[in-house]
Structure formats: C-alpha cells, structure tokens
Amino acid sequence: MNMGRPREFETEKALKDAMNLFWERGYEKTSLEDLLQAMGLSKSSFYGTFGSKHELFERCILHYRETLKGELLNSLEKATSGRQFIENTFSAIAEETLHPQKRKGCLVMNSASEFAQRDPVVSELISKGIIELEQVFVKAINGAQEEGDISGQTEALSLARYLVSSMSGLKTLVKAGATQKEIREVIKISLKALD
C-alpha cells in the first residue's frame, strides 16, 4: 500500500481546494508552492496523484464544469418552469454581490480570458464547458417556449448563447465590484430578450 498517495476522499478535497485557488488567482498566478499548501500535499503526493500543475488545472476545469452543470440541471428540475429557472439563475448572480468570497467570476470564462487560444487543451475544455452551459439553457428555453412563457420568435440555441454571454458579463461585473442594485438593473434588461 502506497502511503504517499492521499485516499480517494482526500483526493476529491485536494482537487476542490486547487480549483478554488485557480478560480481565485488564475493559472499563471498560482504557484506550485501555493497549490501544495492549499491542498495539504507533499511534492511527491502531488506529482503521484495529479501529474503536473497543467494536468491538475485540466482536472479542475472538468470538475468545475461537472459541478456547475449538475447544479444547474438540479435547479432546472426543481423550478416551476423554464423561465423561472432562468430568472432564478440570474438572480443568484445578483446575490453573489453580498458575499465577497463569491466575487470570483466563472472559472471557465476566467480561464478563457487568461488563456485565449494559446493552449489547445484548455481551449477545448473551455469550449465544451460553454456548450454544456448552453445546452442546459436550451432545455429550459424549449420548455418555456412550449409553455408560452418565452417568445418562440428567437431560436432556442441563439437565446441560450445570449444568456450564457450575459451571465459571463454579469459575473465579471460582480468580480469587478458592481453593487447588487447595478447587477439587478442589468439583469432586468438582459431578461427582456425572453419576451
């Protein structure tokens, strides 16, 4: 039995700790030492479990994507309608202004800004993450259009892309220090696209 490797639940916690650090600081500004300290791992355990900083970052992006998609699908399932889900999702962004630790933006979009197209592996992970988000919104929009809560004049995918880009912009504004009132005013305008 290799005592140098963390057990599975510790690996999961270490991954979440690393994800939060990357989310807060970005890839370039997060050093290996920062990661070792945040994750509570030795260098040998780190390399034995995660391979490299870049491989860890890839796993963090995947973990973030899976978590976000799961939370959104769960929220969609619990919402009374597709439109209600969209309104709740945007309202939650406004609530982030009340919690300083939540003013971090979106890890996928932050990474898109940091890496641009420099890294094909990260670009692919980001691109797939955005598509997954769009698919959740397409599902909500299709349902809401069938229910008559959202105008059927705009194609669901185009509307979903608009909503994802609006979310990204709003999260960036929250990160930059916008007030809840300011965010809610922008949300009100963004959601007019649903009428």
Q: Which helix (H) or strand (E) holds 183?
A: helix 180-190
Ranges of the chain whose pLDDT falls below 70: 1-9
For the full predicted model, state whether its pTM sits above 0.85. yes
Read off the pLDDT of residues 100-128 as tens digits, 9 standing for 90 and up: 888 899 999 999 989 878 899 999 999 99
Q: How do the domains of the chain map onto residue ranges? A: 1-51, 60-194
Read off the pLDDT of residues 31-54 as tens digits, 9 standing for 90 and up: 999 999 999 999 999 999 999 999
Closest to 104 measured CA to CA, from 23, 15, 187, 19:
23
Same topology for domains 1-51 and 60-194, yes or no? Answer: no
Question: Which amino acid does the sequence have at 10?
Answer: E
Do 163 and 137 contact (CB within 8 A), yes or no? yes
CB atoms near residue 32 (< 10 Å): 13
**What fold characterizes domain 1-51?**
Arc Repressor Mutant, subunit A (1.10.10)
Class of domain 60-194: mainly alpha
